[in-house]
Amino acid sequence: MTVSYPRKFRNTLSARDIMKRVVKERELQIMTLNRYRYSEQRSCKDLTELIERLNGEPKELIRDISNHIVEESRHALWLTDLLIDLGEDIGQPTGISYIDAFEKLLDQEAYPTEANKDDTIIAALAAINATEKRGCELFAAHIEALKEAPQTEENIKIRETIERIFPEEAGHVRWGNRWLSKMAQKSPETREKVQLAKRRYFAIEQAAYESSDIMMGAEFRRIEHLMEISETMPLWERTQYLMKHIPETVFNPELQLFRIEMAQKAWQKDPKMFVEQFLPMFFNGLNQSDLERIKEKNRNN
């Protein structure tokens, strides 16, 4: 079965563009590897919690999730080994966390508990599927970028580690797809629930992924995703959800601090590059429609 990747959103850098930059800067590449390590390790904890919540049924699903945990834990181990071999830090990653942003948007733990068991399974499978697809997209782009990068001993080692992980990540997308279609076949009602859950968790994942986007206009793009998420909710929950998350998105002090920190780092490192590359890249994040919206907002104030 082929792995389908999330569509590229307008005005955001593609995974390939991002990874081309990542492999050029050692510090950035090490930071990225440590983030992978953290995510792999964290997913073991979240999947274990899901098994506990399922409490023994369905057995086949619990077997698949158990196997999934084995694979995620060895990915964490391979990345831990790699970072230690390279003499690097394996502490908590700094900056905005994708997993925390994902859970914040769910308003609860990693995989939601619904009143009905089928609903819990569908929600968990859709959430896992959305994040696994992102993992595949990033790993594939990272491998490609490393093939084009200078073939240093370190880069070869990093590529070999990601190449070992990648086929198992593609397998995680496949088992999720298989279970989602199995649930959809249960009844027309569950089919509809599966479609809605896929749309919902796709939008949540996209918003979480873009939460560390420091480009100008990122807040507007996030609000668009919040609207998409709310459209998958019952009418009476929509307003409450938007009222909670829109202010966090627009006035996100973490994002502002991260922006300043990144700008300072780029400036200190290479002022010429800052002016020629960082600034245009930063403002490119703001497209014409975002500018129109800012003007409109200012007119209304």
Residue ranges that bind Fe ion, judged by CB under 5 A: 40, 72, 75, 132, 169, 172
- Whichever of 79 and 146 has its CB closer to Fe ion, that residue is 79
Provide, rounded to whole angstroms, the least separation between the CB of residue 75 and Fe ion: 4
Provide, rounded to whole angstroms, the least separation between the CB of residue 73 and Fe ion: 9
Compute the distance between CA of residue 202 and CA of residue 213 in angstroms, rounded to an integer: 17
Compute the distance between CA of residue 182 and CA of residue 208 in angstroms, rounded to an integer: 27
- Whichever of 40 and 210 has its CB closer to Fe ion, that residue is 40
Cα–Cα nearest to 136, from 227, 265, 1: 1
Compute the distance between CA of residue 122 and CA of residue 180 in angstroms, rounded to an integer: 7
- Whichever of 44 and 255 has its CB closer to Fe ion, that residue is 44
Provide, rounded to whole angstroms, the least separation between the CB of residue 40 and Fe ion: 5
Burial 63-78 (b: 16+ CB within 10 A, else e): ebbeebbebbbebbeb
Helices 188-209/98-106 angle, 10° precision? 140
Tokens of 268: 């200190």
- Whichever of 63 and 269 has its CB closer to Fe ion, that residue is 63
Provide, rounded to whole angstroms, the least separation between the CB of residue 204 and Fe ion: 17
Burial 5-16 (b: 16+ CB within 10 A, else e): eeeeeebbbebe
Provide, rounded to whole angstroms, the least separation between the CB of residue 176 and Fe ion: 9
Compute the distance between CA of residue 164 and CA of residue 75 in angstroms, rounded to an integer: 9
Provide, rounded to whole angstroms, the least separation between the CB of residue 177 and Fe ion: 13
Q: Are 166 and 41 in contact (CB under 8 A)?
A: no
- Whichever of 75 and 193 has its CB closer to Fe ion, that residue is 75
Compute the distance between CA of residue 166 and CA of residue 162 in angstroms, rounded to an integer: 6
- Whichever of 32 and 230 has its CB closer to Fe ion, that residue is 32
Compute the distance between CA of residue 166 and CA of residue 172 in angstroms, rounded to an integer: 10
What does residue 214 show for φ and ψ, rounded to 5 degrees?
A: -95, 0
Compute the distance between CA of residue 240 and CA of residue 279 in angstroms, rounded to an integer: 37
Provide, rounded to whole angstroms, the least separation between the CB of residue 64 and Fe ion: 12
- Whichever of 3 and 223 has its CB closer to Fe ion, that residue is 3
